[in-house]
Every structure is written in structure tokens, then in C-alpha cells.
Amino acid sequence: MVFESHKSTFNRRALLQAAMTTAAGGILAGSASSLLAQAPGPKPASNPTANPTANKGAKLVLLGTKGGPRVGGTRSNPANALVVDGKVYVIDAGMGVTAQIVKAGLNLGDIRAIFISHMHSDHELEFGNLVYNIWAAGALRTPVDAYGPVGIEAMAADFWRLNRMDIATRMVDEGKVDPATLLRAHDFAAKQGPVMAEGGVKVSAFTTPHPPIENLAYRFETPYGSVVYSGDTAYNPALADFARDVDVLVHEVLYVPGVDRLVQRANGTPAFRNHLIESHTTAEQVGQIATRARAKKLVLSHFVPGDMDWITDAMWREEVAKHYKGEIVVGRDLMEIPLG
Ligand SMILES: [Zn+2]
Ligand SMILES: [Zn+2]
């Protein structure tokens, strides 16, 4: 018994040390306490996880704020985490989403569901890999639901096929469960309607044009407030109606002079420039949407271009503020926006 007790203490100390070492890399104290929660042995009175209200509350974490599939620069590709009472809802899964979740101090094992806005790679390239990474970390113990446009079910099945050799090997060598049984993908075929409801969180979707395809905007109602995520969308006043009176509107944004430079850099044609502008929403138009929606707070994300440092926060803000007088947040990776 004494030996077991020492062993527990040692394990807990080692886990804590590991968590604190990682803390230098950006992990928050919450992660350390979650690691401790998984360790054997009694919890000391000071352990915050002993308090059932410790995880109460909600926040939105911007994981990746750059529009487009190009990797690099100071912004990661599109991804967000809405955390409600300790449960994590991932919204879009662009390249780098897993690493950003870890950097944000969130636990992969707390991911409850994943929502994909549309089938552009900057929004779904790491969808399968994210679920794989939860599994590889030994944290895929309960089913994760994934919602997205028609095609998300096929994408999930294709992902498991693509990686079947590794998965079969690990199931034998490491005794792991088949991860495919723990991912439940759901095609959303309607134009608008409810998507998911559980534990006080209600999610609905709304289809918006993103030529030449369509995009799902999501609305999250939580006990602490509401969030609407635009995904990628052309200027669409109907989206403002879907977002009416929302607490936090996260909207994609495009800066026209920056797009001209971006087209130059890519040796793009006028048709490419027109495509970008017609399938997205300019900063000025985002201000109009936020005002029409009566959004209490507007968070800019999915910056196009997102890797030109000469476009300052003030420049983004100035365009939007022409039409919106509420609070404007110029999003940055790992920024946290509390709800309630
Ligand atoms: Zn995009
Ligand atoms: Zn897109």
C-alpha cells in the first residue's frame, strides 16, 4: 500500500512536471489539471478539478485565422474551438488544427464534435487527421460527431481507407480500438435547420453562397451566450437575419487592396480576382452584415489576405467601422473570446 501510494505520488508529480514543461510552450494551467485528473490516487484539496464548477463557462478560441490553404506566416489555417462547460466543439479543421488545439491548452480528449463549413481544403484538410490524432493520443474513448455538408460521411470513410494499413497495424500491436467506430459523420443535406442539441448546446446551420459551391454558417446557442460562425460566404444579408441579436459574430473578411497584391503575387488573372471578391465578403460589407444582424460583438477571422503584415489591425478595423458601431475584434491565432 505504501509503495502504491508513493508510486501514485511519483506518477502525479511526473505528469505535473510534463504539463508544466509544456506550459512554456503555451499550454495553460487547465491542461495540467486535466492531466492530473487522469492520474491515479486521491486528489489534493487544492486541485481545481475537485471543484465541479471549475470547468463551467464558455469561450471561443480562434485557432487559425488565415483564409486560404497556403501554410506559413503568423496565422494558421481556419479552425476554431468553442469550449462550453469543458466540452470542446471544433469549428473547421484547416491544416494545423491539432497543434493549435494543443497550443491553446485544450485537451484532445475533450473534443465532443467537429463542424465543417464547406469542402474547401483550408477548412477540412486536417479533419480526418484531427480525429486520428485524438485516437493516437489514446484520448478517443467516446464517439466524436462530425457535421458538415453532404460529403463529410464519404470523407470520413475515405480517410479510414487511406490510413487502413497504419490503423490495422496499431490495432494489433498496441491493442487500440478501431477509430472508425468512434467517429460518427453526418451529412447536412437541408438548406437550413437544426444540427445538434446536447447538454444545453444547440447548433443550427444556414446555407450561404460561396461560388461556385455552398457553405454552412453555424449558430451555437449556449447557456452563456450565442455565437454565429459565417464560414466562407459571399456578401449575404440573409446571413445577418440568421445571426440576428447574436452575442458574438465571427465573420470572414477580405481587404480589397490586399487582394490586388495577392493576385499580382500569384500571377493571377482578372477572373481570379473577381472570383475571390465575389465568393467572399469585403471588410466594408462585413460591417453592414454585423449592423443588420445587431451583433453585440464582431470578430474578424479568415483574413484574405492573411499573410501580408502591411495590412494593420487598424486598417481592417477602419473598413468595418464605416458601417458597424459595435465592438470589433481583429482576430489573432489563439485569441480567447469569453462568453457570458
Ligand atoms: Zn476559406
Ligand atoms: Zn472557401
List the one residue out of 293, 278, 275, 273 whose CA is nearest residue 230: 293
CA of 37 to the centre of ligand 1 (A): 37
Nine-digit cell string for 42: 486521491
84, 224 in Cβ contact below 8 A?
Answer: yes
Distance of CA 282 to the CA centre of its chain: 22
* Pairing, β 297-304 against β 336-339: unpaired
pTM, 2 dp: 0.85
Nine-digit cell string for 292: 443588420
Greatest alpha-carbon pair distance for the chain in Å reads 75
CA of 231 to the centre of ligand 1 (A): 7
Q: Any idea which residue has 450561404 for its cell? A: 208
CA of 122 to the centre of ligand 1 (A): 5
CA of 210 to the centre of ligand 1 (A): 10
126, 102 in Cβ contact below 8 A?
Answer: no
Residues with CB under 5 A from ligand 1 (ion): 67, 122, 232
- 86-109: per-residue pLDDT in tens? 999 999 999 999 999 999 999 999
170, 178 in Cβ contact below 8 A?
Answer: no
Ligand nearest to the CA of 213: 2
CA of 210 to the centre of ligand 2 (A): 7
* CA angle (58, 64, 65) in 5-degree steps: 100
Nine-digit cell string for 233: 460566404
Nine-digit cell string for 104: 491553446
Give the dihedral sign, CA 285/291/295/298: positive
Which positions of the chain have pLDDT values less than 70? 1-54
CA of 153 to the centre of ligand 1 (A): 20
* CA angle (260, 263, 264) in 5-degree steps: 85
CA of 67 to the centre of ligand 1 (A): 5
